[in-house]
Amino acid sequence: MRTQPIDQFAAGVGAETRAAVYGGSKIGHEKRTKLLFDHYADPDRLRALAGEIKQHVVENLDTYLPAAEARLEANGVKVHWASTAESACEAVYSILKARGATRLVKAKTMVSEEIELDAYLRERGIESLETDLGEFIVQMDHDHPSHIIKPIIHKTRRQIAELFERNGLGAYDDEPEVITRRARQFLRHKYLGADAGLTGANFVVAESGRVVVVTNEGNSRFCLAATRCHIALVGIEKILPEDRDLALFLNLLARSATAQQLTVYNEFILGPRGAGQPDGPDEMHVIFVDNGRTDVLASDCRDILRCIRCGACLNVCPVYRQAGGHAYRSVYPGPVGAVLSPLLLGKAFPEKADLPKASSLCGACNEVCPVDIPIPDLLLRLRDKAHSEGIPSPGTPPMGAWAILATQPAAWKAALGAGKLLNHLPTSLIPVPALRAWESKRDLPPWRGGEFRKWLKKRRQ
């Protein structure tokens, strides 16, 4: 029996990378749990409340999105709608082109990864530079992020120091302070020379039109301080109804993502620079990106749109810890990615239909999710979807013969007895591929089919 693609990938991950991913995830999870349970008697109630608010938003986007648009426009923000990755890239490019901008600085935005904005702009002569330290390193190394919050969780200090040396950022030194200082020195000049700043948004509040961006490095603030134009790329699901909801969501996001009571820099952006304000962009654009989200909304997996991209489900996931983020072949890895990534593909779902299989369905992801997404249930629904669409799944044992046995008690009993032959067969001759796959790693206990039934009959005599 062939094994699943993610298992094959995991088998090839080097010991150093695995240790980095495992250690980083584990400590993230442990700190998060401590901070939540030390401060709150019942953090699960907060998660349930946040989940209800976000589910309400997801199911009422048709009213919240126009409301948000109206507030944003009233605040002086130009709102754009992009239904595909291509149209989102075009929207960014046309804004930059109209201003004659050629240098863009980016604070971390997952959506820009999702729509592959970098390559699009590069082909059109526009430099877009990542300013989040992790993303900066990923970009310099022509690599991909492997975690939603810690894009370089798979890298070691040594690898980063070597990368800096190769790229002329100073002689080898793997002290984190030195690495950070060198990146900072390089980036400060870039901020000053940039024509426009691009950010994502953690939340957009429908009531006020407030765009909320959080970072720990202050890089979003730098992206907006010196540039004259701010573009925010926002997935359509990022809406919150009211400003007061931020108290709950900023709290849960910081604790779940980075085990902080609050992220260090919280930007609450109400529009472009107003009269009398000394700093900030004169022009502000919000591009609402669909790119498959309305298809997700129409599906029975719409709960996944509650996600606030905290990465807690990655940190706790035993499969993610073993395989790392690159195994998922997607911008969004881990449990949330195993649901979201194949769904965002729409008709191309079969390309990633194996991702929902990459779970022991242990449920740890649901237990830590700040918006209480029932991720295992959604993974199961996608497995059903893949099966009912006839998509082949290497590594999934066929269930036809089992279902026949399991619905015919006489045949079941006969099979229980016949199974004893297994006790005398060498592994290579076991006629059931799934049992051979089991034996590739573990011994099988002796077959004792039917023994309990015999024991019970005797006891009842």
Partner 1 sequence: MPSPGRAPVVGKRVQLMATCLCDAFHDDVAAATVEVLEHLGCEVSFPEGQTCCGQPAFNGGDWPASRRVVRHAVRTFCGADPVVVPSGSCAAMVFHGALLEFEHEADLSDVESLGRRTWELGDFIVNGLGVRSWPGRFDAAVALHRSCHTRGTGSSDAVALLVGSIAGVRLVEFGEGEQCCGFGGTFSVGFPHISAAMGDLKLEHVRAAKPDVLVSGDMGCLMHLCGLASREKAPLRAMHFSQVLSDAMRGPA
Residues that bind partner 1 (CB under 8 A): 1, 3-4, 6-8, 10-11, 26, 316, 318-319, 322-323, 357-364, 366-367, 376-377, 380-381, 383-384, 386-388, 393, 395-400, 402-403, 405-407, 409, 412, 416, 419, 434, 437-438, 440-453, 455-456, 459
Q: How far is the CB of 420 from partner 1 (least distance, A)?
A: 10
What is the separation of C-alpha 59 from the centre of its chain, rounded to a whole number of angstroms?
A: 21
The nearer residue to partner 1, 188 or 453, going by C-beta atoms, is 453
Q: How far is the CB of 9 from partner 1 (least distance, A)?
A: 9
The nearer residue to partner 1, 236 or 375, going by C-beta atoms, is 375
The nearer residue to partner 1, 137 or 327, going by C-beta atoms, is 327
Q: How far is the CB of 218 from partner 1 (least distance, A)?
A: 34
Q: How far is the CB of 44 from partner 1 (least distance, A)?
A: 9
CA angle 251, 257, 258 (to 5 degrees): 90
Write the CA distances from 11 to 3, 18, 165, 285, 344, integer angstroms: 11, 10, 30, 45, 27
Distance CA 459, CA 461 (A): 6
* Nearest of 171, 162, 116, 111 to residue 141 by alpha carbon: 162
The nearer residue to partner 1, 124 or 454, going by C-beta atoms, is 454
Q: How far is the CB of 37 from partner 1 (least distance, A)?
A: 12
Q: 2 near 397, Cβ under 8 Å?
A: no
The nearer residue to partner 1, 172 or 452, going by C-beta atoms, is 452
- What are the structure tokens assigned to 176, written together? 């984190």
What is the separation of C-alpha 197 from the centre of its chain, rounded to a whole number of angstroms?
A: 23
The nearer residue to partner 1, 125 or 446, going by C-beta atoms, is 446
Q: How far is the CB of 47 from partner 1 (least distance, A)?
A: 12
Residues counted in the chain = 461
Q: Give the strand pairing for 211-215 and 265-269.
A: antiparallel
- What are the structure tokens assigned to 132, written together? 């989040």
Q: Which amino acid is at 340?
A: L
